[in-house]
Amino acid sequence: MQTLALGMCSAKPSDMASLIFRGDVTPHRTWDELYTELQHITRKHEFVTAMYVQAKLNTRALLDQVFPAFEKVFSNLFSTTALKVLKCCLGAKTEEIETIIQEQAGKSHSK
């Protein structure tokens, strides 16, 4: 069997027609290759998603230990406001926390 790439082939049309007529042409990528690649990509996606979920769970557990009331103050622990407040706490810039909260106050949802 021959592989025929029609886009980059310099063969005569009659030769290509006879190959196709005899059934000697296989697609550039077979169904098995595509299926295997799809399985591989799906497994990678599941792996990355599981890592993402585990990272969020670990973050939540660490926040519960360091800042027990943080989850009661912020309904979304990963909102812009919550993350900025955490950044200020880690940088020992606690005087900026009030400013950050005031800037975000009144918005229906922080990003």
Judge whether 80 and 87 are in contact, CB under 8 Å. Answer: no
pLDDT at 106: 66
**What parts of the chain have a pLDDT lower than 70?**
1-10, 26-27, 29, 92, 106-111
Integer Cα distance of 65 and 59 in angstroms: 10
pLDDT at 73: 86
pLDDT at 3: 46
Domain ranges of the chain: 67-111
Question: Does the predicted model carry a pTM greater than 0.85?
Answer: no
pLDDT at 39: 94
pLDDT at 20: 78
Other beta carbons within 10 Å of 96: 14
pLDDT at 12: 83
Integer angstrom CA distances of residue 27 from 3, 7, 8, 16, 82 = 7, 12, 14, 13, 53
